């Protein structure tokens, strides 16, 4: 039977394939991904493909179609079942797979789903995803043949490996907010084996996400965790997104630590072992992060936002640690270079147990800044990159201190502001950080001026201030 398939163009993203189930994403798409991705693996001399899925209601049906497509291309498929995305990454390494696909909607609303992929142990993204789309549309796949499919429970090996790097010195009281994520089963088994007293909120894997949206970067999603930490007198709280590749942390006083603050503590610890090492953060990270890494004897490196891009840069620079403001934390120190919120949590609570003071004290000792949250506003896909180019050109002509690693990040006496085009949505993303509220107002004014100069209506930035 001949094969040819057209994807909804909005579903082929920079880092993954993602869409709204029943509208822009269907089981036929999953079959086509399996058929085409496995063909690409086989043409590169591989054969084994590991497949897993998250707890969304649509995931089992999509996983089933995905497996059928891969088997029809002659792949030997290893099905690891429902669990967190990092467990799929771990399975790819542990089983020495030639390719890996995770069915997951990550932190998107319940009606979304998608696919994250790895090939030959590396992220599969960008041009590779575009090539997959072209090959499917042309029907350019290996002839249909019969591969194999078997199930394997990797969870015990994964949990054992997570525990291997716990290095705490005193037991802690920890509250975990699973947020009904795909980590639920693995997390409950993990904390049983960790020292200390552990409480897991919303441990059931439930694709309706009945308690709160599964995104730990949004403060309102952490309110139950904050209350429980305060009520129980816990040392800290930890939260995950829908597929547990992103982490959120609150301290013993219920204050949120943002992604770059989490990374500062992890970096100080890693740099004791690797003095002078490169530590990577994305362009949205605070200047405080870069300053603190330097103080700790490291080489801070600012890089583009996007988990696939960060993983690739880590491998290139041999950095032992990297992170993003979104809560993706990547360890190459003792780990495998992929983003894993469960592993980051194990390492983080080990650090907290060795601090000799409450986590809140360490947080308060970091320099205080005022910043906006991440500001997102609509801009057509056909226009967003042009806007960035126009802004960059004007800034250069003005002699501004500007970095163009990913969009524009402008340094001034007040602090810095950032404007970049999202790689995954028709939006522009902005952020600003200053030492004073007045300085932040000036930065927001400069940002608004540039947007209006490119013919856009600047959003209302008033009230968009947050401590950091």
**pLDDT attached to residue 381:** 85
Distance separating the N- and C-terminal Cα atoms of the chain:
58
Reading the block at residue 68, the tokens are 């059928």
Q: Is residue 459 predicted with pLDDT exceeding 80? A: no
Question: Which strand (E) or helix (H) includes residue 385?
Answer: helix 381-397
| pLDDT tens for each residue of 106-150 | 988 999 999 999 999 999 999 999 999 999 999 999 999 999 999
Q: Is the fold of 9-153 the same as that of 370-467?
A: no
| pLDDT tens for each residue of 51-63 | 999 999 999 999 9
DSSP alpha helix (H) spans, 139-275:
155-164, 184-193, 223-232, 259-273
- Give the integer Cα–Cα distance in Å for 363 and 420: 28
**pLDDT attached to residue 243:** 97
- Give the integer Cα–Cα distance in Å for 114 and 59: 9
**pLDDT attached to residue 403:** 96
Q: Locate tokens 């007198």: which residue?
A: 233
Q: What is the mean pLDDT of residues 293-307?
A: 97
Q: What is the mean pLDDT of residues 25-33?
A: 98
| pLDDT tens for each residue of 65-74 | 999 999 999 9
Q: How confident is the model at residue 468 (pLDDT cuts 50, 70, 90)?
A: low
Q: Is residue 25 predicted with pLDDT exceeding 80? A: yes
**pLDDT attached to residue 458:** 82
% the chain with pLDDT above 90:
93
| pLDDT tens for each residue of 196-252 | 999 999 999 999 999 999 999 999 999 999 999 999 999 999 999 999 999 999 999
DSSP alpha helix (H) spans, 14-144:
27-43, 59-72, 85-94, 127-138
Q: How confident is the model at residue 464 (pLDDT cuts 50, 70, 90)?
A: low
Reading the block at residue 194, the tokens are 């960790």
Cβ-proximal residues to 273 (8 Å cutoff; 6+ apart), any chain: 320, 333
Tell me which CATH homologous superfamily contains domain 157-365.
Alpha-D-Glucose-1,6-Bisphosphate, subunit A, domain 3 (3.40.120.10)
Q: How confident is the model at residue 463 (pLDDT cuts 50, 70, 90)?
A: low
Cβ-proximal residues to 379 (8 Å cutoff; 6+ apart), any chain: 387, 421, 426, 427, 428, 456
Q: What is the mean pLDDT of residues 255-284?
A: 97
Pairing relation of β-strands 427-434 and 375-378?
antiparallel
Positive or negative torsion for Cα 180, 114, 19, 27 = negative
> Pick from 422, 445, 449, 423: which is nearest to 434 by CA?
445
Q: Are 220 and 212 in contact (CB under 8 A)?
A: yes
| pLDDT tens for each residue of 406-433 | 999 999 999 999 999 998 788 999 999 9
Reading the block at residue 138, the tokens are 């042309």
Chain centroid offset of residue 398 CA: 35
> Pick from 55, 47, 57, 48: which is nearest to 85 by CA?
55
> Pick from 417, 406, 405, 414: which is nearest to 448 by CA?
417
- 370-467 under CATH 3.30.310.50, yes or no: yes
Residue ranges of domains in the chain: 9-153, 157-365, 370-467
| pLDDT tens for each residue of 175-200 | 999 999 999 999 999 999 999 999 99
- Give the integer Cα–Cα distance in Å for 259 and 202: 22
Residue 216 phi, psi dihedral angles, 5° rounding:
-75, 0
Q: Percentages helix, strand, coil for the chain, rounded to the nearest 5?
A: 40, 25, 40
Q: How many residues does the chain have?
A: 468
**pLDDT attached to residue 424:** 76
Extended strands (E) in 184-343 = 197-201, 236-240, 247-251, 256-257, 278-282, 299-303, 321-323, 329-331
Topology of the domain comprising 9-153: Alpha-D-Glucose-1,6-Bisphosphate; Chain A, domain 3 (3.40.120)
Q: Is residue 466 predicted with pLDDT exceeding 60? A: no
Q: Is residue 465 predicted with pLDDT exceeding 70? A: no
Look over the chain and give the mean of its residue pLDDT values, rounded to a whole number. Answer: 95
**pLDDT attached to residue 467:** 55
The catalytic residues are 106
């Amino acid at each position: 039977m001949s094969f040819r398939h057209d994807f909804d163009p909005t579903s082929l993203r920079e880092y993954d394939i993602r869409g709204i189930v029943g509208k822009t994403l269907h089981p036929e798409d999953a079959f086509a991904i399996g058929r085409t991705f496995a063909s690409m693996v086989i043409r590169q001399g591989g054969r084994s493909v590991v497949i897993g899925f998250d707890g969304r209601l649509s995931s089992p049906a999509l996983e089933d179609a995905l497996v059928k497509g891969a088997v029809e291309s002659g792949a030997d498929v290893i099905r690891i079942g429902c669990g967190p995305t990092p467990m799929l990454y771990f399975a790819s390494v542990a089983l020495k797979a030639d390719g890996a696909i995770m069915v997951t909607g990550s932190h998107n609303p319940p009606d979304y789903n998608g696919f994250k992929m790895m090939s030959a142990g590396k992220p599969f993204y960008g041009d590779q995803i575009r090539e997959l789309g072209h090959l499917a549309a042309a029907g350019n796949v290996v002839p249909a043949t019969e591969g194999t499919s078997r199930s394997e429970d990797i969870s015990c090996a994964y949990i054992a490996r997570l525990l291997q790097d716990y290095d705490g010195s005193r037991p802690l009281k920890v509250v975990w907010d699973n947020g009904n994520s795909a980590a639920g089963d693995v997390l409950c088994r993990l904390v049983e084996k960790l020292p200390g007293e552990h409480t897991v909120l919303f441990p059931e894997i439930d694709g309706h996400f009945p308690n709160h949206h599964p995104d730990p970067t949004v403060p309102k999603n952490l309110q139950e965790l904050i209350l429980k930490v305060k009520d129980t007198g816990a040392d800290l709280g930890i939260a995950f997104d829908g597929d547990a590749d992103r982490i959120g942390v609150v301290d013993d006083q219920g204050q949120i630590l943002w992604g770059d603050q989490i990374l500062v503590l992890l970096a100080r610890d890693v740099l004791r072992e690797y003095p002078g090492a490169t530590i990577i953060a994305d362009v949205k990270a605070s200047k405080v992060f870069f300053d603190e890494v330097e103080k700790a004897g490291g080489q801070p490196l600012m890089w583009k936002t996007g988990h696939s891009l960060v993983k690739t840069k880590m491998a290139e620079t041999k950095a032992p640690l990297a992170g993003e403001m979104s809560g993706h934390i990547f360890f190459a120190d003792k780990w495998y270079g992929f983003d894993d919120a469960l592993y980051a949590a194990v390492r983080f609570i080990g650090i907290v147990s060795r601090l000799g003071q409450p986590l809140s004290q360490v947080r308060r000792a970091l320099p205080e800044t005022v910043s906006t949250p991440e500001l997102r506003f609509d801009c057509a896909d056909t226009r967003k990159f042009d806007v960035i180019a126009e802004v960059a050109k004007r800034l250069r002509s003005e002699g501004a201190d500007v970095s163009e690693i990913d969009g524009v990040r402008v340094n001034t006496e007040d602090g810095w502001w950032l404007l970049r085009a999202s790689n995954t949505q028709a939006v522009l993303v902005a952020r600003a950080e200053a030492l004073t509220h007045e300085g932040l107002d000036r930065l927001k004014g400069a940002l608004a001026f540039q947007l209006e100069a490119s013919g856009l209506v600047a959003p209302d930035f008033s009230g968009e201030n947050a401590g950091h």
